[in-house]
C-alpha cells in the first residue's frame, strides 16, 4: 500500500514526490547521488512501497528507469519513474490517489 501522508486515505502528487525523495535519500547509502541495485537491495523495504505493483529485481528496476544507461539511478531518474507510477495509478487524473486507486488486487488479494 502507498503511504497515506495526508492522513485522510488519499495521497497527493506533491506528497508522493516528497515521499519518493525521502526513499531515494534512504537508499543512497554512500550519498553519491546515485542508487545502485545493491543499495536498493540493502534498503530493507524502502523501495517496497514504490514497486508494489511489480515484482522485479533491483537490477531490473534500475534498467527500467535508468535514462542515461549508467547502471545506477540519479535522483531525477528515480523521481521521474516515481511520478510515472503515480500517473499510472491516478485513474481519474485528478492528482490525488484515493484508496481505490492505490488498491492493487494482484498483490493484496481479495478485499
Each residue's pLDDT tens digit in the chain (111 positions)?
A: 345 455 677 889 999 899 889 989 999 999 999 999 999 888 866 666 556 556 788 899 899 999 999 999 999 999 999 899 899 889 999 999 988 887 655 444 443
Per-residue confidence (pLDDT) for residue 47, from 0 to 100:
67
Residue 89 lies in a domain: yes
Q: How many domains does the chain have?
A: 1
Is 27 within the bounds of a domain? yes
- On whether residue 31 sits in a domain, the answer given is yes
In this structure, is residue 50 part of a structural domain? yes
- Dig out the grid coordinates for 52 from the structure: 508494489
CATH number for position 22: 1.10.238.10
- Give a yes or no: residue 65 inside a domain: yes
Q: Per the domain annotation, does 106 fall within a domain? A: no
What is the rounded distance in angstroms from the CA atom of residue 1 to the CA atom of residue 57? 19
pLDDT of residue 49: 58
pLDDT score of 101: 86
Q: How many whole angstroms separate alpha carbon 50 and alpha carbon 104?
A: 12
Domain that holds residue 20: 11-101
pLDDT given at position 100: 86
**Which helix or strand (DSSP H or E) is residue 105 part of?**
helix 105-108
Confirm whether 108 is domain-assigned.
no
Is residue 4 a part of any domain in this protein?
Answer: no
Amino acid at each position: 500500500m502507498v503511504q497515506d501522508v495526508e492522513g485522510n486515505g488519499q495521497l497527493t502528487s506533491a506528497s508522493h514526490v516528497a515521499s519518493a525523495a525521502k526513499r531515494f535519500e534512504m537508499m543512497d547509502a554512500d550519498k553519491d547521488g546515485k542508487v545502485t541495485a545493491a543499495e536498493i537491495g540493502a534498503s530493507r523495504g524502502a523501495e517496497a512501497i514504490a514497486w508494489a505493483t511489480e515484482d522485479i529485481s533491483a537490477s531490473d528496476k534500475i534498467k527500467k528507469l535508468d535514462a542515461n544507461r549508467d547502471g545506477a539511478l540519479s535522483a531525477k531518474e528515480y523521481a521521474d519513474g516515481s511520478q510515472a507510477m503515480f500517473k499510472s495509478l491516478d485513474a481519474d487524473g485528478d492528482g490525488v490517489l484515493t484508496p481505490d486507486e492505490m488498491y492493487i488486487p494482484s498483490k493484496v488479494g481479495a478485499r
